[in-house]
Amino acid sequence: MRFLRFLIASVLASTLASPTLAGGYALITVRNGESLGEIAGRYRVDVDAVRHANDMGSSNLIRPGDVLRVPFGEAMGGIVEAAPDPPPGFRRHVLSSGEHLSAVVARYGITMAALVGANPDLSSLDRLPTGVELLIPPSEGLVVTLYDPSELAALLAHHGADAATVARANGIRSPFDLRAGMLLFLPGIEPSSSLERLARVREEENRYVWPVHGRLTSYFGRRNLGMGTSNFHRGIDVAAPTGTPIIAARAGTVTFAGWSTRGYGYLVRVRHAGGAESWYAHASRILVSVGQSVQQGERIALIGSTGLSTGPHLHFELHVGGTAIDPLAELR
Ligand SMILES: [Zn+2]
């Protein structure tokens, strides 16, 4: 079995005069503290090849959460596997800049489950880089690789797929139509393990961390100001010394960075995937500008007491669907 795959890969490698990287790369997410050299070493890839595959020029700059393409050809020690043809009725779609998967499913009139079923090896639903190629399926189902034609029956049984349905959907009329490494479409089979994995990834990616640590001096909600007056506090207050760095609670794009006329003093607002916004108020100094994308944990401002404030602290708000919610419910 392993030998067979090796044999096929070797034959492919010898017939491909100029190997194409179309689809021939792995997507990996950069973890905290990893350098480009370490990643290249781990996959036995030349650093230049990784830079080239990611249009990085001569830069070595990567950040946690970045998705990098690692060319297969290099990663597998020179053996290049051609991207297999998609099953009949499938189309291809290349992600354009800023295009989210929700726009892709809307455009083709399919469900997210169908898209995941056709692309069960996606590393993330929200952080795919521009240029990633997706298969667009004709209907709901699961795409699997047939590594060994003699294991077809076991593969179908494992997924609970009906042989006649699969044969029809893939244009298979005889065993001679089966090839090792071909993609098979299993109509109606749910990509449950991929959906579960991607849901866990999304939960991890959509998590908020504390923007600064200190003492919680005011909670979200109605607060009594004495003398019979009260107001609604739209965030939480964390007291910390002036100049303490404030970090982005989650990755996103800066939508406001400057003086607020509404009492927030120096304010930074960051918009996150899905549309939620985090607000950071009363800063003594702002370290980012509008339009800049920031990673979770990146310094965006310094603690201060600007605007309507009685002492150095961060006033932190979280807006979901345009409404301020209790940040404490989301902070980890
Ligand atoms: Zn406050």
The answer to whether the CB of 295 falls within 8 A of the CB of 65 is yes
Q: How far is the CA of 219 from the centre of ligand 1 (A)?
A: 8
99-126: b (≥16 Cβ within 10 Å) or e: eebeebbeebebeebbbbbbbbebebbb
CA of 244 to the centre of ligand 1 (A): 17
Strands 221-226 vs 229-233: parallel, antiparallel or unpaired: antiparallel
Centre of ligand 1 to C-alpha 320, Å, is 18
Selection from 287, 124, 281 nearest residue 199 by Cα: 124
pLDDT band at 42 (very low <50, low <70, confident <90, very high): low
* pLDDT tens figures, 174-228: 988 999 889 999 999 999 999 999 998 888 778 899 999 999 999 999 876 666 6
CA angle 55, 58, 60 (to 5 degrees): 90
Q: Going from the N-terminus, what domains does the chain have, and what CATH number goes with each?
A: 1-83 (3.10.350.10), 84-205 (no CATH), 215-329 (2.70.70.10)
Percent of the chain with pLDDT over 90: 57
Contact 301, 266 (CB under 8 A): yes
The pLDDT tens digits for 48-64 are 888 888 888 888 888 87
Give residue 33's pLDDT: 72
On the question of pLDDT at 101 being above 80, the answer is: yes
Distance of CA 158 to CAs 89, 121, 186, Å?
24, 18, 11
Which amino acid, residue 215? R
Q: Which of 45-59, 87-101, 122-136, 289-303 is least confident? A: 45-59
CA distance 332 to 328: 8
**pLDDT value, residue 109:** 97
Query: What is the whole-number distance in angstroms between the Cα of residue 233 and the centre of ligand 1?
Result: 6
CA of 272 to the centre of ligand 1 (A): 21
Query: For residue 134, is pLDDT > 80?
Result: yes
Which residue has tokens 């001679």?
Answer: 176
Instruction: Quickly state the pLDDT bin for 67 (edges 50, 70, 90).
Output: confident
Q: Give the separation between CA 245 and CA 256, rounded to whole angstroms.
A: 18
What's the pLDDT score for residue 324?
95
What pLDDT does residue 29 have? Answer: 73
Report the alpha-carbon distance of residue 135 to residue 133 in Å, rounded.
7
Q: How far is the CA of 249 from the centre of ligand 1 (A)?
A: 17
Residue 55, pLDDT score: 84
CA of 315 from ligand 1 middle (Å) equals 4
For residues 147 and 84, give the distance between their C-alpha atoms in angstroms, rounded to a whole number: 12
For residue 305, report the distance from its CA to the centre of ligand 1, in Å.
11
pLDDT tens string 1-16: 444 444 344 334 333 3
The answer, yes or no, to whether residue 278 has pLDDT greater than 80, is: yes
Cα–Cα distances (Å) from 89 to 23, 103, 179, 213, in that order, read: 19, 21, 18, 54
- Rounded distance from Cα 289 to ligand 1 centre (Å): 23
Q: How many CB atoms lie within 10 A of CB 65?
A: 17
Task: Report CA(316)–ligand 1 centroid distance (Å).
Answer: 7
Instruction: Tell me the pLDDT band of 26, cut-offs 50, 70 and 90.
Output: low
pTM > 0.75: yes or no: no
Q: State the distance from the centre of ligand 1 to the C-alpha of 232, rounded, in angstroms.
A: 10
What is the C-alpha to C-alpha distance for residues 38 and 53, in angstroms, rounded to an integer?
16
The residue assigned the tokens 């506090």 is 233
156-165 as b/e, with b when 16 or more CB fall inside 10 Å? beebebeeeb
For residue 146, what are the β-bridge partners? Answer: 182
Residue 70's pLDDT is 77
Tell me the percentage of the chain whose pLDDT exceeds 70.
Answer: 85
Per-residue pLDDT, 24: 61
